[in-house]
Amino acid sequence: MGMTREWVASMLGVNPRTAGYWEAVKTDEVPDYVEDFILDWWETYQERVREVLAEVHEETMKNGRSPECVNLTRFATKKQCQRANSSMTAGMHAALLGHITMALEQAKFTVEINFTPINVGD
């Protein structure tokens, strides 16, 4: 899902080594609140995939034909994600785009991912 242990630790208010421990052990040893946190993000990913598929299908119905290509934008930095009002990291955004791309390609759409240009300070 593109999460780093540092990000998970900061979001849950724990030491990054603790998050690393959770990552390395069996699921039954991870606290319930951590599992809930990860599952909530997984549901967010699934919801966003459904939304994008619905948007593309709606455009297809409206225009009477499929788009030649679905263009997705990839944020390369944390600052770009923040400017887009996303609490995701750039790695999480990349992982989400991977899920969206797979779903669109399974639905027989062509996908192109364009990187947002990196500016000084990004």
Convert the pLDDT of each residue in 30-48 to its tens digit.
899 999 999 999 999 999 9
For residue 39, give its domain range. Answer: 5-115
Neighbouring C-alpha atoms within 13 Å toward the C-beta of 94: 11
Structure-block tokens of residue 119: 């500016």
> Which pLDDT score is estimated for 6?
93
Is residue 60 a part of any domain in this protein? yes
Asked if 79 contacts 120 with a C-beta cutoff of 8 angstroms, the reply is: no
Is residue 122 a part of any domain in this protein? no
Is residue 93 a part of any domain in this protein? yes
Residues 40 and 45: their CA atoms lie apart, in Å, by 9
Residues 70 and 111: their CA atoms lie apart, in Å, by 5
State pTM to two decimals.
Answer: 0.84
Residues 51 and 57: their CA atoms lie apart, in Å, by 10
Is residue 80 a part of any domain in this protein? yes
Is residue 48 a part of any domain in this protein? yes
Is residue 75 a part of any domain in this protein? yes
pLDDT tens for 73-121 read 999 888 898 888 888 899 999 999 999 999 999 999 999 999 888 776 6
Domain total in the chain: 1
Is residue 70 a part of any domain in this protein? yes
